[in-house]
Amino acid sequence: SSSKLKKKATKTQEAKKILKKKFKVNTKIVFTEDGELVQQWPPVQKSSLAKADEEDDVSGINLDKVKEILREEDKFDKEEYRKKIKEKHR
């Protein structure tokens, strides 16, 4: 009877199963009725460096390159934040 007992799967084991199956989790995409993209979470990176980095098939993480990408993404994020604040004040 002891061999018939099943162990309860932990959250980490379930998360690893999902990662192995390559599911896209924690994403949200909103479309209009016309099929236009309205909102996507997490936001897509807009910088040209990020797009170039995706094309490179290099193993590991290049910290200098990642810092540059984040600085460029910050510029876009700051601009969106300014627009959001301007709309709020109107």
At 66, list the tokens: 């990642």
pTM given for the model: 0.43
Least confident of 13-22, 29-38, 52-61: 52-61
The pLDDT value recorded for residue 85 is 92
Confidence of residue 57 (pLDDT cuts 50, 70, 90): low
The pLDDT value recorded for residue 27 is 74
**Taking 60 as the threshold, does the pLDDT of residue 86 lie above it?**
yes
